[in-house]
């Protein structure tokens, strides 16, 4: 039987706050943060300064239509290839010793975080130096005995090769699949902003990817994106690994589409733990539901309205215990 663990989500003005349990305020967590860059920020690696407001809105519509064609289902997960045009939020991360900066696509629908890693077998284009694992004094490969290297499980992305835990991770299939990113499960120091702009380090398991094919954001000469930041409920995700520190809580700003809002938006903050606080007052919330052996954020969606018209879809259309369910995925 699939056990359920209830989570909380709060959509507050323009913020998305995800809680792993109702007792967050009683937990011993603390706040850390990461710089988060919306696609339309001037600091975005994918910023297009010449687009008009109408063109930016039209791009959103085209993204939705194109993404619907690529969505497929498998192993109880909704999968879609991470095309560069689907990217909305990019995290600016600092890793290693000496510190190396990377730009990672924020993905609440995947677990393992990874970045391109020298020495490369096959790396896509990025216009700054690729992270060199051999140059970092805090880098270590993870062996097959590590509890998160579940290579014996049928659905695992990991394998054991010469004592090292290696992975092959894909993000979609037909009609245009993202071929696997491959590399070594590794540990490294990740640097976060703490109170008073101090920097705090955490040792995090991540993917040192040295073989990457068909990631479309890598086809651009000016590309700065080097990988993906996984924030789902999988044990390998950043949220799960830092659970004792952040209490399973993170939040980020949802960029508005209002006609009067300036579209050259400034970067936001991806907040973890105590940094993600609910405003006072009557805040509408809806429960998340998680399932054993599923790592996505499920919502108990009942129905959909278009404008003032409710569709009255058949009861259970989005029941995750009966089918694929309804998830939130950045």
DSSP letters of 195-239? GGG-EEEEEEEEEEEEEE---GGGGSTT--EEEEEE-SSSTTSHH
**For 28-32, 102-106, 273-277, which range has the lowest pLDDT when averaged over its residues?**
28-32
Structure pTM? Answer: 0.75
- What was the pLDDT predicted at 21? 38
Pair 303, 312: CB distance under 8 Å: yes
Domain that holds residue 191: 25-274
User: Rounded to an integer, what distance in angstroms lies between the CA atom of residue 105 and that of residue 235?
Assistant: 19
Mean of per-residue pLDDT scores for the chain: 76
Looking at the chain, the whole-number percentage of residues with pLDDT higher than 90 is 33
Q: What is the mean pLDDT of residues 263-274?
A: 70
328 in any annotated domain: no
197 in any annotated domain: yes
Q: What's the total number of domains in the chain?
A: 1
6 in any annotated domain: no
- What was the pLDDT predicted at 90? 82
283 in any annotated domain: no
279 in any annotated domain: no
User: Rounded to an integer, what distance in angstroms lies between the CA atom of residue 165 and that of residue 162?
Assistant: 8
233 in any annotated domain: yes
pLDDT in tens, 161-206: 999 999 999 876 434 555 689 999 999 999 887 655 677 889 999 9
Pair 158, 185: CB distance under 8 Å: yes
pLDDT in tens, 109-163: 889 999 999 999 999 989 889 999 999 999 999 999 999 999 999 889 999 999 9
40 in any annotated domain: yes
For residue 43, name the pLDDT band (cuts at 50, 70, 90): low
Nearest to 5 by CA among 236, 329, 243: 243
Q: Are strands 100-107 and 225-230 parallel, antiparallel or unpaired?
A: parallel
Instruction: List the CATH number of the domain containing 216.
Output: 2.40.70.10
pLDDT in tens, 45-82: 666 666 676 776 676 666 556 555 544 444 333 333 33
Unique residue bearing structure tokens 């215990």: 321
295 in any annotated domain: no
- What was the pLDDT predicted at 127? 87
**Continuous segment of H or E residues that includes residue 168:** strand 164-169
């Amino acid at each position: 039987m699939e056990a359920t663990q209830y989570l909380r989500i709060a959509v507050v003005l323009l913020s998305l706050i995800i809680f792993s349990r109702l007792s967050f305020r009683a937990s011993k967590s603390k706040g850390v943060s990461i710089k988060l860059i919306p696609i339309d920020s001037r600091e975005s690696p994918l910023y297009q300064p010449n687009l008009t407001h109408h063109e930016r809105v039209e791009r959103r519509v085209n993204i939705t239509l194109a993404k619907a064609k690529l969505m497929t289902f498998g192993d109880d997960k909704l999968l879609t290839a991470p095309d560069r045009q689907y990217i909305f939020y990019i995290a600016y991360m600092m890793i290693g010793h000496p510190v190396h900066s990377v730009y990672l696509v924020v993905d609440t629908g995947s677990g393992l975080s990874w970045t391109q890693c020298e020495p490369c077998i096959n790396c896509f284009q990025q216009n700054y130096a690729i992270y060199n694992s051999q140059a970092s004094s805090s880098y270590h490969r993870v062996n097959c005995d590590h509890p998160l290297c579940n290579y014996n499980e049928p659905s695992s992305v990991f394998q054991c090769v010469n004592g090292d835990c290696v992975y092959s991770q894909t993000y979609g299939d037909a009609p245009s699949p993202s071929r696997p990113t491959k590399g070594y499960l590794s540990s490294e120091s990740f640097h976060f902003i703490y109170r008073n702009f101090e920097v705090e380090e955490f040792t995090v398991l991540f993917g040192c990817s040295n073989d990457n094919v068909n990631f479309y954001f890598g086809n651009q000469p000016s590309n700065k994106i080097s990988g993906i930041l996984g924030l789902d409920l999988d044990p390998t995700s950043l949220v799960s690994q830092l659970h004792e520190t952040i209490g399973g809580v993170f939040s980020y700003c949802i960029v508005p589409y209002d006609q009067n809002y300036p579209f050259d938006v400034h970067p936001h903050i991806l907040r973890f733990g105590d940094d993600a606080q609910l405003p006072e007052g009557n805040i509408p919330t809806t429960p998340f539901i998680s399932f054993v052996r599923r790592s996505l954020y499920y919502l108990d969606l009942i129905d959909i309205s278009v404008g003032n018209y409710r569709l009255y879809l058949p009861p259970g259309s989005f029941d995750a215990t009966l089918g694929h369910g309804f998830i939130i995925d950045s």
